[in-house]
């Protein structure tokens, strides 16, 4: 994400919301500052996995929604329910090509 999306599109009008939550044993001690460093990225901690529950229900997945990206267009608005994403995928590293392709419709 850092190298292939943000650094290559340093002038793109993007907003990145990164939600961290405990899934693996050491996640609560994970230093996120070095993972995704960009002024357009905002980091949040969801220790109770509430956002995962909302995302999982909106995508109709069973269980915990994590290591997933959701791509929304510039006119999307989050209200009582999450809007349908333009693109989504998991795990992020395995779906980075799809994310790049779908993002190109908005920023390239």
At 42-94, the pLDDT tens digits run 988 888 889 888 898 888 887 788 889 999 999 999 888 889 999 999 999 89
Question: What is the rounded average pLDDT of the residues 97-105?
Answer: 95
Residue 31 pLDDT grade (very low, low, confident, very high; cuts 50, 70, 90): low
CA distances to 6, 13, 105 from 20, rounded to whole Å, are 19, 23, 27
pLDDT at 95: 94
Burial 84-98 (b: 16+ CB within 10 A, else e): ebebbbeeeeebbee
């Amino acid at each position: 994400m850092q190298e292939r999306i943000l650094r290559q599109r340093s002038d793109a009008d993007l907003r990145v919301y990164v939600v961290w939550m405990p899934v693996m044993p050491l996640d609560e001690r994970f230093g996120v500052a070095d993972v995704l460093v960009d002024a357009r990225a905002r980091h949040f901690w969801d220790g109770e996995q509430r956002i995962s529950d909302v995302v999982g229900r909106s995508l109709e997945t069973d269980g915990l929604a994590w290591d997933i990206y959701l791509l929304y267009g510039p006119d999307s608005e989050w209200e009582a329910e999450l809007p349908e994403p333009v693109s989504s995928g998991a795990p992020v590293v395995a779906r980075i090509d799809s994310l790049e392709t779908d993002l190109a419709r908005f920023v390239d």
